[in-house]
A and B are shown apart, each in its own frame.
Chain A
Amino acid sequence: QKEVEQDPGPLSVPEGAIVSLNCTYSNSAFQYFMWYRQYSRKGPELLMYTYSSGNKEDGRFTAQVDKSSKYISLFIRDSQPSDSATYLCASGFYSSASKIIFGSGTRLSIRP
């Protein structure tokens, strides 16, 4: 079992829809969580990161962590065609900068 699991998609939704992207993780010791967006032929771009359970909002994006169920979510409101990309979740430990585990990514397509 991978430490961070992510449905690869592809996920296709119409413009304006609310998108929900999800990851599960197996190691309850993970302490912080990140979401990255990766456009085709580009490097991953940090979208959001959070250290605790609960919600964190930034514009149209909301990151949610539920440590009790080991579930990480990213919600995108009013989705735009420019949101079409691969979204990667990642989890890490405070004690080790190098021990960051990435999900394999979910490919998202927003239809105009």
Chain B
Amino acid sequence: DVKVTQSSRYLVKRTGEKVFLECVQDMDHENMFWYRQDPGLGLRLIYFSYDVKMKEKGDIPEGYSVSREKKERFSLILESASTNQTSMYLCASSPPGQGSPLHFGNGTRLTVT
């Protein structure tokens, strides 16, 4: 079974703080993703990485950056947290190849006060 592990289940941060969300997958997947999930808006892609040090912006990259120094680890960085970044953050991975489904972690519930 694919295991995608997000380091924190719940985080509370203050406005203006730099926040790191960590994700590790154990299946040697090339692709890794960061989504946020908000009521009524569904899942929205923030960033996607298809290889080490490679990244692509998703639909809502503003205010976020990412880092992928090792294949198994994908980090999401909030440079200066704001209250509108309070959300559920979901990391996912998938193998290469056509039509590969995503495997998600359990999410990090971030609250910015």
A85-107, CB under 8 A of B: which get 1 and which 0? 00010101011011010111100
Interface of A is mostly: strand
Q: In the complex, are the beta carbons of A44 and B90 less than 8 A apart?
A: yes
Chain B residues contacting A31 (CB-CB under 8 Å) are: 98-99
Is B56 engaged at the interface, CB distance under 8 Å to the other chain? Answer: yes
Q: Which of B50, B58, B98 has the most CB of A within 10 A?
A: B98
In the complex, per-residue mask of A60-73: 1 if CB is within 8 Å of any chain B CB, else 0: 00000000000000
Chain A residues with CB under 8 Å of B103's CB are 46
Q: Which residue of A is nearest B38, CB measured? A: A104
| B102 close to A42 (CB less than 8 A) | no
B42 touches A49 (CB 8 A): no
Query: In which size bucket is the chain A interface?
Result: 20 to 34
The stretch of B12-20, B67-75, B78-86, B104-112 in contact with A is B104-112
Q: Is the CB of B43 within 8 A of A43?
A: no
Is B104 a contact partner of A105 (Cβ separation < 8 A)? no
A88 lies within 8 A of B45 (CB): no
A34 to chain B, nearest CB (A): 5
Q: Among B42, B50, B107, which residue has the most Cβ atoms of chain A within 10 A?
A: B42
Looking at the assembled complex, report how far the CB atom of B41 sits from the nearest CB atom of chain A, in whole angstroms: 7
Query: A41 contacts which chain B residues (CB < 8 A)?
Result: 107, 109
Contact with B along A40-54 (1 / 0, CB 8 A): 011111100101000
C-alpha spacing A102/B42, complex, angstroms: 7
Q: Which chain B residues have a beta carbon within 8 Å of chain A's beta carbons?
A: 4, 6, 31, 33, 40-43, 45, 48, 50, 56, 58, 90, 94, 96, 98-107, 109
What residues of chain A have their CB less than 8 Å away from a CB belonging to chain B?
A: 31-32, 34, 36, 41-46, 49, 51, 88, 90, 92, 94-95, 97-98, 100, 102-105
A and B contact pairs by CB, cutoff 8 A, 19 listed: A34-B101, A34-B102, A36-B104, A42-B106, A42-B107, A43-B104, A43-B105, A44-B90, A44-B104, A46-B101, A90-B102, A94-B98, A97-B100, A98-B50, A100-B45, A102-B42, A104-B41, A104-B42, A105-B42
